[in-house]
């Protein structure tokens, strides 16, 4: 039994290694690039495009740009939190506690018929941010999945070893 406990302690937890993976690195770069691209658009071309919209579309533009910004800031917070884990500035357990402040479900876009009235570039940024949010949610559920309960499932070989031991001890 002591050997099994020692063996479980030696197991490498996949979820603890994900922040050091290429998957996380690529997701981090994608997220930060999208934050920068969105900020540049909303401060530049987006302002001019918003001024050209009619009153109701302009209201939709303002609403969706706020949702987009909120969504991206939540994603960026999650990414920066997990980069801190990667850099050894905090443990995964600490990140798990802190991530409760991050809302990865916040700011879903409005109805498609309203979004279709927006400039194509804003629509593209909204779509890409939603895709990024889905990737982050999947990675989050993998990284923060509870560890497997080895005691409940047990070692499938133990019963066979017990039979062998019993057979040779007779």
Number of domains in the chain: 1
The answer as to whether 163 is a domain residue is yes
The answer as to whether 117 is a domain residue is yes
Structural domain that includes position 102: 12-169
Cα(39)–Cα(34) distance, integer angstroms:
8
Over the stretch 131-169, which tens digit does the pLDDT of each residue have?
A: 999 999 988 888 877 766 655 556 777 777 777 777 676
The answer as to whether 38 is a domain residue is yes
**Is 11's pLDDT higher than 50?**
no
The answer as to whether 143 is a domain residue is yes
The answer as to whether 28 is a domain residue is yes
State mean pLDDT over 61-70: 95
**32 close to 76: Cβ distance less than 8 angstroms:** yes
> Residue 34 is part of a domain; what is its CATH number?
1.10.8.930
The answer as to whether 3 is a domain residue is no
Cα(127)–Cα(61) distance, integer angstroms:
14
Percent of the chain residues past pLDDT 70, beyond the cut: 81
Average pLDDT for the chain: 83
The answer as to whether 7 is a domain residue is no
């Amino acid at each position: 039994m002591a050997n099994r406990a020692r063996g479980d302690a030696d197991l490498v937890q996949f979820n603890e290694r994900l922040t050091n993976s290429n998957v996380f690195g690529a997701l981090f770069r994608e997220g930060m690039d999208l934050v920068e691209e969105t900020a540049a658009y909303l401060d530049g071309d987006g302002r001019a495009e918003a001024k050209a919209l009619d009153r109701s579309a302009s209201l939709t533009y303002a609403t969706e740009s706020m949702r987009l910004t909120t969504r991206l800031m939540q994603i960026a917070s999650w990414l920066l939190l997990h980069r801190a884990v990667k850099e050894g500035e905090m443990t995964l357990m600490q990140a798990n506690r802190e991530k409760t402040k991050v809302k990865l479900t916040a700011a879903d876009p409005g109805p498609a018929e309203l979004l279709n009235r927006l400039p194509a570039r804003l629509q593209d940024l909204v779509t890409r941010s939603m895709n990024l949010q889905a990737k982050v949610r999947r990675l989050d559920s993998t990284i923060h999945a509870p560890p497997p309960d080895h005691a409940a499932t047990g070692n499938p070989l133990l019963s066979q070893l017990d039979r062998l031991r019993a057979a040779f001890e007779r």
